[in-house]
Amino acid sequence: MSQDSQHGKWTISSSDDDNDEVKPEPAKPPVSSLAVGSEARQSAAKNKLNPVKYETSPSLAGKRKKVASDSTGWALSDSDEDDGEVKGKSLSDLPKKAPPNPKTKKPKVESERPPSPHGRLYYIDEPDDFFESCLPPLNDTYRFYLNKVTGLEKKYNSGALHIRDILSPLFGTLKESVQFNYCFDIAWMVKQYPSEFRDRPVLIVHGDKREAKARLIQQAQPFPHVRFCQAKLDIAFGTHHTKMMLLWYEEGFRVIILTSNLIRADWYQKTQGMWMSPLYPRLPKESSASAGESPTFFKRDLLEYLASYRAPELEEWIQRIKEHDLSETRVYLVGSTPGRYVGSDMERWGHLRLRKLLYEHTNPIPGEERWPVIGQFSSIGSMGLDKSKWLAGEFQRTLTTLGKSSLRPDPPMHLLYPSVEDVRMSLEGYPAGGSLPYSIQTAQKQLWLHSYFHRWKAEATGRSHAMPHIKTYMRASPDFSQLAWFLVTSANLSKAAWGALEKNNTQMMVRSYELGVLYLPSAFISLGSGTFLTARLPTHMATSGFPPDHTHTRLV
């Protein structure tokens, strides 16, 4: 389905309403719909042990097919041929057509999409220096990094990280690790560890059930050092969507909170982001229970998040974290865990957790009614028949909170989501749409949402053609020279991820596990002001709201 509006033409793909992403399943032929969404994303994960090799032949993006291709995962249904009747005649009265000659060239149909200009070459041909590991600047205040992207000029990957960089011996001598995620390719993941660490114990925290769980376990059979922890998902349509690494070294401990799945397709031609903690040293023996806490109470909140899994497999990791000094952390943890919460527990998770932090640790800004709220994500859930049902009535109230002011201005809200043209022109071509699922059934019920949409631009970091799987939310000044706050997270635009109020606002219901980090100026004392001044921030942070100028988030 396509929708025209003042913000361009938007195509809506088919996927489950409340799922933020779509798990790898056997491909099924699409029926009279644009399958640019959910199936494409999973083709890489489906062939986990034998990744698809994309040839250098011309893109198939503009051709119509009846059955989805296993290699690209997307197709267009031929609706013009699906009519059961022709006006004035029955089907039996129509002359029989001769079978088409396969050598006959099919005439071009004007309504067909033009092919993607890039194809999939960069996806398989990494430059020689792509995997060169290098330490980020040791004085990096913000510790925010983008993923490396193939097919860009080398300068745009300066300061960016690949998964092999994250797991490199340059960051520490790895003893054990935990991988929290949504999609896994176990064989590919194991290969990303350096050879000297490749047999070190790895715990996989996942949300798969039944057949999907069996397939995941089967993937790990060749790797005896890989163990599993299944996250409890007791509420329908919930997912384990958190993306986090816990890395235990001989030298200490580190946390990575990121937006990438552990599949090859997420690490090469998409825009992704991560927060990497400092190397946390071990505390002296006999330290108090409160030792090693940060000004943002990151240690307490991380332990509380891990405890919410109620998983014996995580107990030893909880104990290890208690034994380390996390006092250098300057970000706040914002998580979601499934459940129904009342009283003060309502503010522990989801968007009410974000609201509480913004209420307690920010201050009102003169003219804040002109400071837009910006949300950027890769999936959209059901939000009701009009904006008052959740987006404006609940979520926007959280995002517009600044300090303890009783005033509630109604600033602009900009939602960044790639258009069809953005996807077509992307490095991956149309298959990139598989990482941007939006249920057609849901979209038909909330056409009002499209008035908020703005297209994806990331010129300062060269990533305008690397479709975003990153999720960011922020409050910016009208000229984008300042930020009141900034959040990078796994949470997409959905009630399942952020939670929704129930029972006359006396209960908060959250379906999914999510995790992100919040940057607040008050936690960075050296700033000397109540906002982040974007001109002083590292250029590599530009894609997600820290621009050296405002051009990268140009809203068109």
- Measuring CA to CA, which residue among 411, 416, 451, 423 is closest to residue 555? 416
CA distance 72 to 431: 6
Q: At what angle do helices 298-307 and 315-322 cross, to 10 degrees?
A: 170
CA distance 438 to 21: 9
Residue 319 C-beta-side C-alpha neighbours within 13 Å: 5
Instruction: List Cα–Cα distances, 140 to 56, 160, 278, 463, 538, in angstroms.
Output: 40, 13, 10, 22, 9
Catalytic hit among 465, 469, 540, 552:
469
Catalytic hit among 241, 324, 351, 450:
241
- Measuring CA to CA, which residue among 35, 96, 93 is closest to residue 67? 35
Residue 544: what are its φ and ψ, rounded to 5°?
Answer: -110, 30
Is 469 one of the catalytic residues? yes
| Residue 191, marked binder | no
Angle among Cα 439, 443, 447 to the nearest 5 degrees reads 170
| Residue 285, marked binder | no
- What is the per-residue DSSP string for 242-257? --EEEEEESS-EEEEE
Handedness of CA 126, 436, 36, 153 (dihedral sign): negative
- Measuring CA to CA, which residue among 298, 369, 370, 288 is closest to residue 327? 298
Is 552 one of the catalytic residues? no
Length of the chain (residues): 556
Give me the amino acid identity at 43: S
Radius of gyration of the chain (CA): 24
Instruction: Judge contact between 356 and 485, C-beta under 8 A.
Output: no
Instruction: Judge contact between 331 and 374, C-beta under 8 A.
Output: no
The tokens of 415 are what?
Answer: 């939602």
Residue corresponding to tokens 């011996």: 169
Q: Could you give the 3-state DSSP secondary structure of residue 358? A: helix
* Residues annotated within a binding site: 243, 471
* Residues annotated within a binding site for substrate: 243, 471
Annotated catalytic residues are 241, 469
